Structure 1
């Protein structure tokens, strides 16, 4: 697999998002998750991304049980599930969260540590100072920010260099192209694209609307409720037809498009099972392919917001 820079390391250009190991999108078990991690490593994936809230620590526990030390691991803190759901970026909370994550991960150091959401009333310079001290103490290799605006990135980076920014980015979520991807490129910061397959919308097969109420947040997500869901399935159908005609897998083509948007971009698709990993690689797009794909799926084609209003509370908006 192609390698891309993430901090002072080079990792596989495609990483693995481990949210589903926490049972967020459907039932799983430790053996299945461990088999998925083994298959990912065999496929050349060397970066795994998790968070303390994925299954209330379950995803971290699975990665800790896996025990591979040659894999670059990132985790996150900052979202307090509540009720009420809120965020904390104070140093005491970050340190407490990091120690708990390290125990679950069975590590004394994590390669990359993100603030999952920014707390608006704490200056980002103070947050960067906290993370810089953790780097100096050897607790973390580098730090990242998630769902932030370009101005926030620049302020944090001026205080202590940021390793990575993680925001949602895919064929149907293109907002980061309005300044954030460019800012990362200028500063030498990796842009880690989460949900690059549209939370399953660009999976191997078209989604059915059978999400688990109260567990799978897609059940109430604006893009996955009617009439938006059917409209989005229909909008993506010509892209699926193109992939079939070209002999591409749908996930492979969607990821190839994300990768083509900048050599500092690392998408982290997620899956519960090893079976889906083979769909992610093997597609290379030329300039004409990209033009055609963007004609079929122009920026802004998706119907519905990517989050419900309650989930946008601590997402920075800049356009």
Structure 2
């Protein structure tokens, strides 16, 4: 089936209605996969209509952007909408979130070089630096936009108030956030704010970090280096209870004649025409299956039934442990507090 196109945000960016998250190819989900295999996968995705590719300098770190530069050589660059991110540094083995102007510029210049491009289509702040007023970070991003080094600006894991303050400096095209059947906390405040301001919504981990693909058995197959082993929802005391969610989703998928992952992904797609999920995968068969989710239809009653399977009181465990900042702690100081040298 043809992958439809969509407008992401109100600034003019057009992308495939489903993207490809590239993180797991290079890091966090176990050992990096062979470049040659991932290049084949990425080019298969593009040829299939999945042209919105999502990377970050922290994936690897750095190696995912280099992988994409290889995949997009030989005339492939012009076929895609390329997104990357800055803001998480692992200098000297220490994790630090940074949004100061000098870092913003240095990170962008380095990403451009690794990606082998003159301009990044969509450049996100990966996590919000709570020490730097968001207006200061956005000011430098606006300069990069004016210099033609980035086309559109995004935020990831930002609160509604942070989004509003950032958008007042320069239009935000997209906010990337975790959104899936069992992660719905952004629906209360952040998503309505994005819609009010005409900002597109990019849903990462729309398959619950793989849970809605294969259920609790996925944990048994994770490598020792896979950070999902540390996440609260995959701990034994929570996983046994969360297994019931997968069982119910799987039952409904069987009745619908699709896979549980297609059902869960279709639910995200059907949240609105301004939503673009970016499921990640390292396997062509999974990519093809994810594309199939675009043709799954759900009635309002089926949507409600699906949501009841994974309501907030049913899901056990937080989406993150103490390993990553989220929109809940993304507030920054007022601009008046910023001292320039």
TM-score of the two chains, using structure 1 as the length reference = 0.94
Within the alignment, does 1:162 sit opposite 2:172 as a pair? Answer: yes
Indicate conservation of the 8 Å contact 1:168/1:194, yes or no.
yes
2:203 — aligned with what? Answer: 193
Using a 3 Å threshold, how does the CA distance of structure 1 residues 55 and 315 change in structure 2: closer, same or farther?
A: farther
Using a 3 Å threshold, how does the CA distance of structure 1 residues 171 and 183 change in structure 2: closer, same or farther?
A: same
Q: Secondary structure at the match of 2:150?
A: coil
Q: Secondary structure at the match of 1:271?
A: coil
Indicate conservation of the 8 Å contact 1:36/1:272, yes or no.
yes
Partner Cα distance (2:141, 2:29) in 1: 31
Matches of residues 1-319 of structure 1 in structure 2 within 5 Å?
1-6=3-8, 7-27=11-31, 28-67=33-72, 68-69=76-77, 70-82=79-91, 83-204=93-214, 206-210=216-220, 211-213=222-224, 215-280=225-290, 281=292, 282-312=295-325, 316=329
Measured after TM superposition, the shift of residue 286 of structure 1 is 2.1
Alpha carbon RMSD of aligned pairs, Å? 1.7
Partner Cα distance (2:304, 2:313) in 1: 15
Q: Which runs of 5+ in 2 are unaligned?
A: 332-341
Partner Cα distance (1:317, 1:138) in 2: 28
Partner Cα distance (2:13, 2:231) in 1: 36
Using a 3 Å threshold, how does the CA distance of structure 1 residues 313 and 180 change in structure 2: closer, same or farther?
A: closer
2:335 — aligned with what? Answer: none
- Name the one with the larger helix percent: 2
Indicate conservation of the 8 Å contact 2:23/2:55, yes or no.
yes
Q: Which runs of 5+ in 1 are unaligned?
A: none
Measured after TM superposition, the shift of residue 314 of structure 1 is 7.6
TM-score of the two chains, using structure 2 as the length reference = 0.89
Query: What does the per-residue CA deviation read over 1:144-182, in whole Å, with 9 as the maximum and x for residues that have no partner?
Result: 111111111011101111111111110010011011111
Q: Secondary structure at the match of 2:151?
A: coil
Q: Secondary structure at the match of 1:227?
A: helix
Partner Cα distance (2:320, 2:240) in 1: 17
Deviating above 6 A after TM superposition, structure 1's stretches of 4 or more consecutive aligned residues are none
